[in-house]
Chains A and B, each alone.
Chain A
Amino acid sequence: MEYQARVEGPYTVIALAGEVDLHYSPQAREQILHHLGEQKNLLVDLSMVNYIDSSGVASLVEGYQLARKTGLAFGLVGVSEAVLQVLQLARLDKVFPIHASASERIVSDEQA
């Protein structure tokens, strides 16, 4: 699956969709790492995701870690209640920067 990417302010926003499971998470991972490899500040939009499993979450963790190592910004936006519960299971809701939307993240950056 080719996930859609768009630019909002200083961010590349990649929108994952559908089921990010054992089958699809390798593609999600590849695209996240690809954009970070191109030195893009990255937001992952999860608003169209109806299911994410641990392999999908692991890909987000790997992306965040790579962003930190290379001094890029990273965050999650559009996190539904269902996705949030999965993140909470491994206490990752406390780890990822999470915002309602890309524009809200941009506003929060400006205020910081």
Chain B
Amino acid sequence: MASDRPQPAIIEVQDLVAHYGVRRILDGISLTVNDGEIMVIMGGSGSGKSTLLRYLLGLNRPTSGKVRMLGKDITHMSGQELFELRRNIGVAFQGGALFGSMTVGENIRLPLREHAKLDEQTMQIMTRMKLEVVNLLGFEDLMPAELSGGMVKRAAVARAIIMDPKLLFFDEPSAGLDPVTAAELDELILRLRDAMHMTIIVVTHELESAFKIADRIAVLDAGKILLCGSVDEVRQSGDERIQDILNRRPRNEDVDPEEYLRRLTGEAL
């Protein structure tokens, strides 16, 4: 585990700034994720957490700042280098992102076909093992459209872990799941870290899940990290905004009329 001895950082984010159009979504994010750690990135809607995930995955190029992953700077990587790096990375996207034209089993095997040379029989057994891990064994030959929302999410997890990645990302894993399935998924995240020594990054707004699985939590608000610390540090934080998030209080932002008006009319800032 992370605390046993000093480990090299798996992810290092330095002063990351990103915009959508003229809007600054990430405002100088710095974050380190250690080997074997479960890091939860928490924040409300619009806090920038899903955007941060996109930059961590190298899907977008930042305005400025650096993202180093598994020792490599991904902000200046070629497509081929990113492809190589992604062999070691699994992602379970919020909506599942399964291909509708392929069976569940084919979806789960897809990363193996792209990245590994294995016997067909080996790939089939691996697929079924992962389906068993997410409690979906027997659903291999169904099409994604035949699955419930929760099953799609679990199938996406099976696909994310088919290569036993070193680094695993979950985008809102428990959103839309019933409480039992959500709790099972939390257990699975912990087991994956312990058994496969994966480093896991979970983006979520579910407090209960975050407190259960996190080694550390980074609380994101308005594109900034308010606090990055242990579960206890976050719970005991005196920061008003963090307490608002923990207690689900609505934020009371001051309106800058001029800035707001310009945003409405689309005038350049």
Of the listed residues B116, B122, B130, B132, the one surrounded by the most CB atoms of chain A closer than 10 A to its CB is B122
Select one of A59, A62, A89 contacting B195, CB under 8 A: A89
How big is the B interface, by class? 20 to 34
> Are A54 and B195 in contact (CB-based, < 8 A)?
no
- B contacts, CB < 8 Å to A: 115-119, 121-123, 125-126, 129-130, 132-133, 162-164, 191-192, 194-196
Give the top 5 A-B pairs by smallest Cβ distance, nearest first.
A85-B195, A58-B125, A53-B164, A90-B129, A58-B126
Q: Give Cα A60–Cα B255 distance, bound, in whole angstroms.
A: 63
* CB < 8 Å A-B pair total: 54
Chain B facing A: main interface SS? helix
Which chain B residues border A47 with CB–CB below 8 Å? none
Select one of A55, A85, A92 contacting B194, CB under 8 A: A85
Q: Give Cα A90–Cα B132 distance, bound, in whole angstroms.
A: 6
- A15 in contact (CB, < 8 A): no
> Are B122 and A86 in contact (CB-based, < 8 A)?
no
Known contacts A26-B117, A53-B164; A58 and B122 CB within 8 A of each other: yes
> Are B116 and A22 in contact (CB-based, < 8 A)?
yes
> Are B132 and A91 in contact (CB-based, < 8 A)?
yes
- A57 in contact (CB, < 8 A): yes
Which chain A residues border B123 with CB–CB below 8 Å? 58
Contact with B along A33-68 (1 / 0, CB 8 A): 000000000000000000001110111011000000
> Are B195 and A88 in contact (CB-based, < 8 A)?
yes
- A31 in contact (CB, < 8 A): no
Closest CB of chain A to B110's CB: distance in Å? 15
Additional pairs, 20, CB under 8 Å, beyond known A54-B130, A61-B125, A85-B195: A22-B164, A25-B118, A25-B122, A26-B119, A29-B119, A53-B164, A54-B162, A54-B164, A55-B118, A55-B126, A55-B164, A58-B123, A58-B125, A62-B122, A86-B195, A86-B196, A88-B195, A89-B191, A89-B192, A89-B196
- A contacts, CB < 8 Å to B: 21-22, 25-26, 29, 53-55, 57-59, 61-62, 85-86, 88-92
> Are B195 and A55 in contact (CB-based, < 8 A)?
no
The residue of chain B having its C-beta at the shortest distance from the C-beta of A61 within the complex is: B125
Known contacts A22-B163, A88-B195; A57 and B119 CB within 8 A of each other: no
